[in-house]
Structure 1
Amino acid sequence: MELLLETVALFCLKLAYETEDSSPILRDDLMMSDYEKEVFGLLVRRGDVEVIQMKVDECLGLALNAIGGVDTVLGRELNRLAADFSAAQTMGQLDAPLFALKEYLKDIL
């Protein structure tokens, strides 16, 4: 799950900050320091669903702004998927919406 969380964060930051004429954002970039696999791993081991959701929501907010907000087709779908992720109450309930977010972000990158 840690890698999946890191991937969603990376895709969000790529949408928000990466431009065609710049270097690609990588997992070891400084802006990823709060969203590294190890950081998420600690939260997963603690079972801290709320903090995991908060960290991912920060990234999703950046991605949502980058694609034009909730008034766009892409934004409405991302917002719906983000709401599904935020509605999870246990670690086990995070898996399906997190995977859906990753696939959607990958598709729109």
Structure 2
Amino acid sequence: MELHLETVALFSLKLAYESEDSSPILRDDLVMGDYQRDVFELLVRRGDVETILQKVDDCVGLAMEALGGAEKPLGRELNRLAADFSIAQTMEQLDNPLIALRDYLKAIQ
């Protein structure tokens, strides 16, 4: 799960901050500091669903802005997937919506 969380953060931040004429954002970039796998690993071990939801929401919010908001087609689908993820209340409930969110962000890169 930690890898999926980190990947969602990475793809979201790539949408928000990466431009064609700049070097790509990588997992070890400073912008990823609060969203690296070891940070998520600690949260998962603690079962801290609330903080995980908040971190993912922060990243997805940046991606949403980059897509032009929930009124645009790509933003509308991202908003739907993020809403599915945000209603999870247990670690087990995070799995499927997280994978769907990851796959969508990867597809729109």
What is the TM-score normalised by the length of structure 2? 0.99
2:38 match = 38
Superposed CA offset, 1:40-59 (max 9, x none): 00000000000000000000
1:8 match = 8
What is the TM-score normalised by the length of structure 1? 0.99
CA distance in 2, matches of 1:70, 1:3: 26
* Structure 2 unmatched ranges of 5 or more: none
Q: CA deviation at 1:103?
A: 0.4
- What's the secondary structure of 2:52's corresponding residue? helix
CA distance in 2, matches of 1:75, 1:15: 12
2:58 match = 58
* Amino acid across the alignment from 1:87: I
Superposed CA offset, 1:64-94 (max 9, x none): 0000000001011000000000000100000
CA distance in 2, matches of 1:106, 1:54: 20
The aligned length equals 109
* Amino acid across the alignment from 2:8: V
- What's the secondary structure of 1:89's corresponding residue? coil
Q: CA RMSD in A?
A: 0.3
- What's the secondary structure of 2:20's corresponding residue? coil
| Superposition map of 1:23-102 within 5 A | 23-102=23-102
CA distance in 2, matches of 1:61, 1:10: 13
Identity of aligned residues (%): 73
